[in-house]
Chains A and B, each alone.
Chain A
Amino acid sequence: MGKYFVVFRVSLAERMVYRADFFMSTFLRFIPIITTILLWRAIYDGADQTEIGGLHYEQMVSYYLLIMIVRAFGSMPKLATSIALAIREGELRKYILQPIDYLTYMLTLRCAHKLVYFVMSAIPYTLIFWICADYLPGWPGPMMFCLSVLTLTMTFCIGFAINSLIGLLGFWFLEVATFIHAFMTLQYFLSGHMFPLSLLPKSVEQVVTWLPFAYETYYPTLILLQKVSVDEALRIIAVQFVWGVVVGGICLVAWKRGLHRYAAFGG
């Protein structure tokens, strides 16, 4: 455990140093939210119904705000790219020789990154949520709060597993970096980040909400939004767990097979 703690501390210090781009990117992150909310205001004003996709205007605003929180847990910027790059450039060999498990190492790094991100962005997030307090559903009860913490933890795990898996594709394909870009575009839609998946035609919705991406972001957001009952929330978390185990399992298999191939071909 000790060596991972050192990794954690070093990367924490490293992240702190570059302040300019950090503050800037945290604030900029809210711009698309504001424009999307403004667009929805316009849509609700033009529509003859008060509920769209099962959501009031206030809930729609909350949806976009809360999905930011969920994304903050689930998104893994540059994780897949750095894994793919480590494979391609032969940097992986360094980690294989050291008595440190590469994926655990990456997970530790990611925890450090996330922690710093949460600490650093606490102020802008609090500010925005305070301004938008009227739209938000109010504090959850203790039960819902626990479930929210649980679902966000699962979101982090699924996010890490999915992104690692894509990075590990680097064992077999050269163009992973390009693929990641196309994939992120698709994920933006499939995870409900673009708009709530309940707005889709029923047949499409049924397929899309079955995928792990919906369980990574869309359903947790509904839990945070308190749109679902406790039973439903428990079901969601259970499915999240299953997806986490499935994707994580595939990840480990890919890692083992990939390493085998790596050793055989010498990188």
Chain B
Amino acid sequence: MRPRYSRILLRFWKNCLLREMTFRGHFILRVFGEVGWVFLLLVFIEVIFSKTSHVRGWSEPQYLFLMGTHMLVTSLFETLFFENCWRISDLVRKGDLDFVLVKPANTQFLLTFERIDFASLANLPVGIALCTYAAIQGGFTITFGHSVLFVLLIGTGVCMLYAMLFMFALTSVWLIRQTGLDALWFYAMSLSRYPAEIYRGFAGGTLWFVCVFVVPVLMVANLPANVMVRTFTTPFIINFIVAAAVLLILSNIALRWALRSYRSASS
């Protein structure tokens, strides 16, 4: 008798929605914060392009499109996975992971999907609007095929980010107290927000290498944006998808490994 995962998922989301509705003030403040942050980023872009017309070959509409793409990726990740990854260290510290482990369903599934953060979803329409605006401003020609690839790559990028943060969250099994996940996510985002071309010189080159090949966060927004408004190469896309698949498999192996060391705190 296999667990009915789609029904569990639906019930998770329903519970999250019920919870969100009991804290409306919290929800509104969150949305305000999320959208406000995006507004400030746009102010920064305006400041940049009031001083220069191009940033390493990216025109303003192209840059705005990258920004929109980045918002789509972060919004999806934060809605679906961030809180779940964040919770893991709490579950470990308080020993509440016990309850997840005794449930007759896949542990990674339960850990990954229990929470959904509806407030972060607010940036999804904003991102779509920004991409649309940028595409019209830049007069980009966008085919149906490109759009499908775009959506696919965004999904791939989100999965990739999930796998990496999930693995990072699992380190709390050994470190017990671990609070760096939000900072790490912030840094990952501050890296991937910019065009990959700005990473030049010794420090930039090193960072580029690390963030493309070791901790592949740099391409999650750059690649889909490039596909839509600039150029791209097929091998790179294939490597990107393969890397995401490998990371997902690794995240499962990491979980099994972490659970072997899990001590289950008592109180």
Contact = CB atoms under 8 A, between A and B. Distances in A.
Interface stretch (B69-77, B97-105, B171-179): B171-179
B198 A38 contact: yes
Given A178-B26, A186-B36, A47 B52 contact: yes
A188 B56 CA distance: 26
Interface in B180-207: 180, 183-184, 186-187, 190-191, 193-195, 197-201, 203-204, 207
A182 B29 contact: yes
A62 to B, nearest CB: 16
Contact of B200 (A28, A38, A186, A188): A38
B37 interface: yes
Interface stretch (A29-37, A232-240, A255-263): A29-37
A43 B49 CA distance: 9
B25 interface: yes
Contact of A21 (B44, B54, B177, B195): B177
A190 B241 CA distance: 40
B191 A31 contact: yes
Contact of A41 (B23, B25, B198): B198
Interface in B222-257: none
Interface string B149-191: 0000000000000000000000000010111100110110011
What secondary structure prevails in chain A residues at the interface with B?
helix
A115 interface: no
B183 A18 contact: no
A89 B216 CA distance: 41
A46 interface: yes
Nearest to A51: B51
A194 to B, nearest CB: 6
Given A47-B51, A174-B25, A175-B29, A38 B194 contact: yes
B30 interface: yes
B120 to A, nearest CB: 12
What secondary structure prevails in chain B residues at the interface with A?
helix
A245 B193 CA distance: 39
B33 A34 contact: no
Interface in B1-45: 23, 25-26, 29-30, 32-33, 36-37, 40, 43-44
Interface residues of B, number: 42
For chain A, give the interface size range: 35 or more
A46 B56 contact: yes
B36 A175 contact: no
Contact of B43 (A34, A47, A185, A189): A189
A159 to B, nearest CB: 19
A5 interface: no
A42 B187 CA distance: 20
A200 interface: yes
A194 B203 contact: no
A194 B44 contact: yes
Interface in B43-94: 43-44, 47-48, 51-56
Contacts of B199: 35, 38
Nearest to B189: A32
Contacts of A98: none
Contacts of A172: none
Contacts of B25: 174-175, 178
A49 interface: yes
A188 B40 contact: yes
Contact of A20 (B37, B40, B48, B175): B175
A24 B207 contact: no
A31 B190 contact: yes
A195 interface: yes
A109 B53 CA distance: 49
A178 B52 contact: no
Interface of B: 23, 25-26, 29-30, 32-33, 36-37, 40, 43-44, 47-48, 51-56, 175, 177-180, 183-184, 186-187, 190-191, 193-195, 197-201, 203-204, 207
10 contacts: A20-B175, A28-B187, A34-B203, A35-B198, A38-B204, A41-B201, A45-B56, A47-B52, A48-B52, A181-B30
